[in-house]
Chains A and B, each alone.
Chain A
Amino acid sequence: EVQLVESGGDLVQPGGSLRLSCAASGFTFSNYAMHWVRQAPGKGLEYVSAVSSNGGSTFYANSVKGRFTISRDNSKNTLYLQMGSLRAEDTAVYYCARRPGAPNYYYMDVWGKGATVTVSS
Chain B
Amino acid sequence: QTVVTQEPSFSVSPGGTVTLTCGLSSGSVSTNYYPSWYQQTPGQAPRTLMYRTNTRSSGVPDRFSGSILGNKAALTITGAQADDESDYYCVLYMGSGIWVFGGGTKLTVL
C-alpha gap A57/B52 in the complex (Å): 23
Q: Decide if A45 is an interface residue (CB 8 Å cutoff).
A: yes
- Some 7 contacts from A to B, beta carbons below 8 A apart, are A45-B89, A45-B101, A50-B97, A107-B51, A107-B93, A108-B38, A108-B91
Interface residues, chain B, CB within 8 Å of chain A?
34, 36, 38, 40, 45-48, 51-52, 57, 87, 89, 91, 93, 96-104
- The residues of A that contact B97 with a CB separation of less than 8 Å are 50, 57-59
Closest residue of chain A to B104, judged by CB? Answer: A44
Which A residues, 69 to 121, have Cβ-Cβ distances below 8 Å to chain B? Answer: 95, 97, 104-114
The bracket for how many chain A residues form the interface is 20 to 34
C-alpha gap A99/B19 in the complex (Å): 26
Give the shortest distance, in Å, between A82 (CB) and chain B (any CB).
18
Q: Decide if A47 is an interface residue (CB 8 Å cutoff).
A: yes
Q: Are A50 and B99 in contact (CB under 8 A)?
A: yes
Supposing A44-B89, A47-B101 touch, asked if A107 and B52 sit within 8 A by C-beta, the answer is yes
- The residues of A that contact B89 with a CB separation of less than 8 Å are 44-45
C-alpha gap A46/B89 in the complex (Å): 10
Supposing A109-B51, A113-B45 touch, asked if A104 and B38 sit within 8 A by C-beta, the answer is no
Closest residue of chain B to A98, judged by CB? Answer: B48
C-alpha gap A107/B57 in the complex (Å): 11
Give the shortest distance, in Å, between A115 (CB) and chain B (any CB).
11
Give the shortest distance, in Å, between A62 (CB) and chain B (any CB).
8
Partner of B36, one of A50, A57, A108, A112: A108
Closest residue of chain A to B1, judged by CB? Answer: A62
C-alpha gap A111/B89 in the complex (Å): 14
Give the shortest distance, in Å, between A30 (CB) and chain B (any CB).
19
